[in-house]
Amino acid sequence: MEASSSLPVKATLANVFHISPDRIYFDQTTGFLQIDGQNAFKPTINNGVSYASSDVIAEAAAEATKQQPMTFVLIHGSWADASFWDKTVAELKSKGHAAYAPEYAGHGKLYDPNVTHEAIVESVVNYIKSNHLTNIVLVGHSFGGSIIQKVAEQVPDQIHRLVFFDAFVPLDGQSVAEQLPPELQGAFGELVKGSGNNTIPMPYPLFRDGFVNTASETLAKQIYQSAKPEPATPLLQKLDLKKFYTLNIPKSYLYFTSDMAAPQGDTYGFHPAQSRHLGQFRLITGEGDHMSAAYAKPAYLEEKLYEAARD
Amino acid sequence: MEASSSLPVKATLANVFHISPDRIYFDQTTGFLQIDGQNAFKPTINNGVSYASSDVIAEAAAEATKQQPMTFVLIHGSWADASFWDKTVAELKSKGHAAYAPEYAGHGKLYDPNVTHEAIVESVVNYIKSNHLTNIVLVGHSFGGSIIQKVAEQVPDQIHRLVFFDAFVPLDGQSVAEQLPPELQGAFGELVKGSGNNTIPMPYPLFRDGFVNTASETLAKQIYQSAKPEPATPLLQKLDLKKFYTLNIPKSYLYFTSDMAAPQGDTYGFHPAQSRHLGQFRLITGEGDHMSAAYAKPAYLEEKLYEAARD
Amino acid sequence: MEASSSLPVKATLANVFHISPDRIYFDQTTGFLQIDGQNAFKPTINNGVSYASSDVIAEAAAEATKQQPMTFVLIHGSWADASFWDKTVAELKSKGHAAYAPEYAGHGKLYDPNVTHEAIVESVVNYIKSNHLTNIVLVGHSFGGSIIQKVAEQVPDQIHRLVFFDAFVPLDGQSVAEQLPPELQGAFGELVKGSGNNTIPMPYPLFRDGFVNTASETLAKQIYQSAKPEPATPLLQKLDLKKFYTLNIPKSYLYFTSDMAAPQGDTYGFHPAQSRHLGQFRLITGEGDHMSAAYAKPAYLEEKLYEAARD
C-alpha cells in the first residue's frame, strides 16, 4: 500500500461510513486497529495518525456494521396500525433480516371497536402459524407488550427473544390500563363514555405531548392521522399471565429516554417501572419519544432494535 | 444533473451541514429522500448511495433546519443575572426569532438584597407590557420557573407557551426552597445567617458540583463570577399559585440529564419531580448541567429551547 | 492569510478533529470563535461561514482537547481483574497522564477464593505507598467503590479526588451485597452454596444482561473470559466506614446510563441510589453499560474519567 493511496482511518470511518471515532482503538501491542473492540486491520502509522487504503477501510466498516440475520415480527401499539412499522421493516430488510408487521384484529383495515384482547392475540398467533415463522424476535411496542406476553404463552417454541419497546408489561391479573396512574385511567374512562362506541379517541394535545413530543409540528400531525379511536376493551381487560411469568424466553427492553406515553419515574415509567416486571432482561436505551423515531429516524430505531434482539 | 457535479447526500449532509445520517431515510416506494420524516428531494442512486447536486442538498438542509419564528422572553435563575442568556439570545436571533432577556428586580445591575418575589414578578410583567410583547414563549430557568408561573397569572393572554428549563415548579402555597431536601434548606439557612444581609452566598465548591459539573475548571470559574450572593426572600416566600394551576397555557419542560442543582431522582429531581407538578406538558431532554450550556454550547441550548417552544 | 489557504472552521473541526459544532460559538462582539466557551481565534467570515488556516484550526483543536496531567490509580470490580483497565491506561497515558491499575489481593494472578476485604484494601494501600504515589485520582469501579472508600481512610493525604465509576458506596456498617435487592442477594447466596469454595460464579446469561448488555455477542463472550468465580467474603463483609464519611476529599460519580449491574431506579440504581450516599459530589454521565466501554470505547471512557477527575 502506497502512502499516496492511503486515507486517514478515523476521519474516513467517521465521515464516509458514519462510524464514530469513539468506537476505534489502536492496540499498540499488536499493531491492530480495533472497531468496537474487535481487531479490524493493521494500519500504517504516520505522525500518530492511522492510514489505510479505501478498500481496507470499507471492508472493515462493512464488517463492523454487519448484522446477524434474524426474523422480526413487530407488534404495534394503540392509536396506531401496522403502517407504524413500514419504514422500520424496510430498514430491517435492508440489513438482511426477515421482518413482518402484521395488522392485528380490530385495528387498521380490520378496525372494530368491539375487538377483544383475545382476538388480537389469536390473530397474531394465527399469522405466525400460517406463515410458519420460527426463531422469531417478537417485538411489542406500547400496548403491544401485553400482546407479545400472551402470544409467547401460546407459541413459546417459535420465539427466540421477546423485545419490549417502551411497552406495557402487566403483571398477572392486571390490565394494561392499570399500569397508568389513576388520573390518566380516569381521563380514559371519560373519553370512553364520551365516545358512544366503547373506544378511546385520542385528543391531539394529549397525543402531541405524550406520543410525539420531540417531533416537528408537521410530523406530529402526520403521525396523528393514524390515530383512530382505540377500542377500549383490550386495554381494560385483566389478563391471566401466569404462564408468561414461567416462560424461559430471553427478554430485552428498549427504552427511549424522552418517552412520555407513560409518566416517567420510578412508579409508572416504561423503564424502570414496567421493565422491572420482566425480572432479568437486557436493557437497551435510546433517544426519542414514543412514536417519532419510527417515522423520522427508522435507521436509528432499526439499530436499537437489533441491539435489543441480537444474541 | 450530471454525475460529475453530484455529491453523496448522506456524507454531505453530515459533514457540511451537520445533519446526522440518523435523520435521513430513502423511501424506495416514492423515490424521495426524507429528512426528519419529510420528503426532501429525489436523489440519483448509484450502487446504493444517494447523490444530488450541492444546490439541492444545501436547499434541503436549509429547509430541515428552518425554525418557525417566535418571540422568546428568557428569565434567568438564582446566582445569575441576565447576562446568563447573552449567547442564547444571539443564537435565537440568528435563527430568526425575537429574543429578550430582561434583568429583573434585585439582580445584576439592579442588585438589591431585600428584593421580594412580588417585585421580581412585577418587573418582568412591566417589561412585557411596556415592550408590548405578545404571543410570547416565556422561558424560566431554575428559580425563574416560579417567576414565570406568577407572570403567567398576570398576563396569560400574552403568553403562547411556558417553557420550564430545569426549573422549580412550586405547588400552590409552597416556596422555591421547599422544593429542595431538608438538609439543603438547612445549609441555605446557615448561609443566610452568616451573610448578615439576608442573602445566600454560593460557595465555589457547591457551585462547581451543583451548577457547572460538566464544565472545565476555567469555564466553571468564569461562570462563577456572575454568582452574587442571592437575595434570600424570594426563595423563601410561600407563593399563592392557585390561579397558575387553573391556566390553560401549553407547557414544556426542558431537562438536562446531568443537572444536579436539585438532587436527581424521583423525589427532588427537576425531572420527574418538579416537572410532574405541571400535569400535562411536553418533555424535551438534553445533555448538560445546570448552567454550562448557556456559556459553552449556546447553539445546542437554542435548538433544545426551540424544540420545547415550537407548536 | 489567503482565502485559498483557508478551511471552513466548523466542518474542519468536526470532520478532521472530531470536535462537534455544538461546542463552537462565534462571538460577534469580539470577533472571536470560541470552543467550549473559550476564545480560540479570530476567523475570517465569508457569507456567514468562518474560515481559518489549517495551522490555526489544528492549534485550537489541540488546545481544546488538552488535558491537565493527573495521576490515576484504577481499581477494578468483581468478576474482573486488572486487565479490565488495559486500554483505559493506554488512553490515559496517551493524553499525558500517569496511570496505574494494580492487581489487588485475591484477583487475577493473585487469585484466592479466601481473600478478605481488608487484604484487598491493604494490597492497594501498599501499592500506593511503595510506589510513592501522591495527588492521586483514585477510581473505583463497581465493587471497587468500597475499596477506594477504605483506601481513602488509610491514605487520605495522598488522594486528590475519589472517582466512583458505577460503583457501590456502602454506608457505614453495610456490606456491598446489601446494596443489592434481596432477591439478587438471595441468588448470590445460592451461587455461593453451589460453588463449594465460597465463591460466586457468574452465569453467562446474568453477565450478558447485567454487565455487557450493549455489547455484541462476540465482545460479550470475550469479556466474560475474565470473569473468574468471585471470592464471596469481601462482598459480604459489613464495613466500618465511619472515618470515610468524615473525610473531606472531593468526590465524583461517573454514571453510565445503560448500566444494569445494579437494578436501575431510585432504590438500587448506581445513580441516584448509590451516588446519593456520597452527599455532595460531581456527577458525570455517559452512555454505556457496566463493562463494555473499557473494551470497546476506551477513548470515550478516558474522556469521561477525565471529566470526573479534573479540578
Q: Do C258 and A284 touch (CB under 8 A)?
A: yes
Cα B90 vs. chain centroid, distance in angstroms? Answer: 14
Pick from C6, C21, A86: which is nearest to B61 by CA? C21
Pick from C94, C74, C92, C73: which is nearest to C84 by CA? C74
Q: What is the pLDDT of residue C5?
A: 67
Query: If you write DSSP's letter for every residue of B250-307 in order, what string do you get?
Result: -EEEEEETT--SS--STTT-IIIIIHHTTSS-EEEEES--SSHHHHH-HHHHHHHHHH
Q: Do C284 and B208 touch (CB under 8 A)?
A: no
Q: Flag whether pLDDT at B3 surpasses 50.
A: no
Question: Chunked in runs of 10, what are the mean pLDDT values of chain C (311 residues)?
Answer: 72 96 96 98 95 97 97 98 98 98 97 98 98 98 98 98 98 98 95 97 97 98 96 98 98 98 97 98 98 98 98 97
Joined grid coordinates for residue B221: 470559574
Q: Do A283 and C265 touch (CB under 8 A)?
A: no
Q: Do B295 and C38 touch (CB under 8 A)?
A: no
Residue B58 banded pLDDT, cuts 50, 70, 90: very high
Mean confidence (pLDDT) of chain B: 97
Q: What is the pLDDT of residue A220?
A: 98
pLDDT in tens, chain A (311 residues): 444 469 999 999 999 999 999 999 999 999 999 999 999 999 999 999 999 999 999 999 999 999 999 999 999 999 999 999 999 999 999 999 999 999 999 999 999 999 999 999 999 999 999 999 999 999 999 999 999 999 999 999 999 999 999 999 999 999 999 999 999 999 999 999 999 999 999 999 999 999 999 999 999 999 999 899 999 999 999 999 999 999 999 999 999 999 999 999 999 999 999 999 999 999 999 999 999 999 999 999 999 999 999 99
Q: What is the pLDDT of residue B204?
A: 98
Catalytic annotation present for B252:
no
Per residue, the 3-state secondary structure of B152-179, as one string, reads: HHHCHHHEEEEEEECCCCCCCCCCCHHH
Which amino acid makes up residue C109? Answer: K
Asked if C183 has any chain B CB less than 8 Å from its own CB, the reply is no
Q: What is the pLDDT of residue B5?
A: 67
Distance from CA of B203 to the nearest CA of A (A): 31
Quick count: other Cβ atoms within 10 Å of Cβ C214? Answer: 25
What are the pLDDT digits (tens) for B113-143? 999 999 999 999 999 999 999 999 999 999 9
CA distance B151 to B249: 12
Q: Do C267 and A266 touch (CB under 8 A)?
A: yes
CA distance A67 to A311: 11
* Set of chain C residues whose Cβ sits within 8 Å of the Cβ of A27: 87
Report which DSSP code applies to B100.
E
A30: left (phi over 0), alpha (psi -120 to 50) or beta: alpha
Q: What is the pLDDT of residue A307?
A: 98
Which of A15, A90, A206 is opposite residue B280, by nearest beta carbon?
A206
User: Average pLDDT in the B206-228 region?
Assistant: 97
Helix or strand or coil: residue B242?
Answer: coil
Q: Which chains touch B (3 or more CB pairs under 8 A)?
A: A, C
Q: What is the ipTM of this complex?
A: 0.96
What's this model's pTM, rounded to 2 decimal places? Answer: 0.97
Which of B205, B209, B219 is opposite residue C36, by nearest beta carbon?
B219
What are the pLDDT digits (tens) for B40-57? 999 999 999 999 999 999
Q: Name, in order, each residue with C-beta under 8 angstroms of C175's C-beta and a sequence gap of 6 or more.
A: C235, C236, C237, C238, C239
Distance from CA of B223 to the nearest CA of A (A): 29
* Set of chain A residues whose Cβ sits within 8 Å of the Cβ of C226: none
Asked if B285 has any chain C CB less than 8 Å from its own CB, the reply is no
Beta strands, E only, chain A = 6-8, 24-27, 32-35, 38-41, 44-46, 49-53, 71-75, 98-100, 136-141, 159-165, 199-200, 230-231, 251-256, 282-286
Tally the C-alpha atoms within 13 A of residue B242's C-alpha that lie toward its C-beta: 1
First to last CA, chain A: 37
Q: What is the pLDDT of residue A29?
A: 94
Structural domains of chain C, with CATH: 3-65 (no CATH), 71-309 (3.40.50.1820)
Q: Do C283 and B258 touch (CB under 8 A)?
A: yes
Paired residues of B32 in beta bridges: B27
Torsion over CA of B168, B170, B175 and B180, rounded to 10 degrees? -50
Please give the helix or strand (H or E) that residue C75 lies within, else none. Answer: strand C71-75
What are the pLDDT digits (tens) for C276-307? 999 999 999 999 999 999 999 999 999 999 99
Distance from CA of B5 to the nearest CA of A (A): 18
CA distance A25 to B30: 40
Strand order in the sheet with A32-35: A24-27, A32-35, A38-41
Q: What is the pLDDT of residue A67?
A: 98
Q: What is the pLDDT of residue A4?
A: 47
Burial class (CB in 10 A: 0-12, 13-18, 19+), A195: middle
Q: What is the pLDDT of residue A5?
A: 67
CA distance A76 to A223: 14
First to last CA, chain C: 37
Strands B49-53 and B44-46: antiparallel
- Select which of A142, A146, A175, A292 is catalytic: A142
Question: Percent of chain B beyond pLDDT 70?
Answer: 98
Alpha helix (H) residue ranges in C141-291? 144-154, 182-195, 204-210, 217-224, 233-236, 275-276
b/e string for B175-200 if b means 16 or more Cβ within 10 A?
A: bbbbbbeeebeebbeebbeebeeebb
Q: Name, in order, each residue with C-beta under 8 angstroms of B251's C-beta and a sequence gap of 6 or more.
A: B161, B162, B163, B164, B278, B280, B281, B282
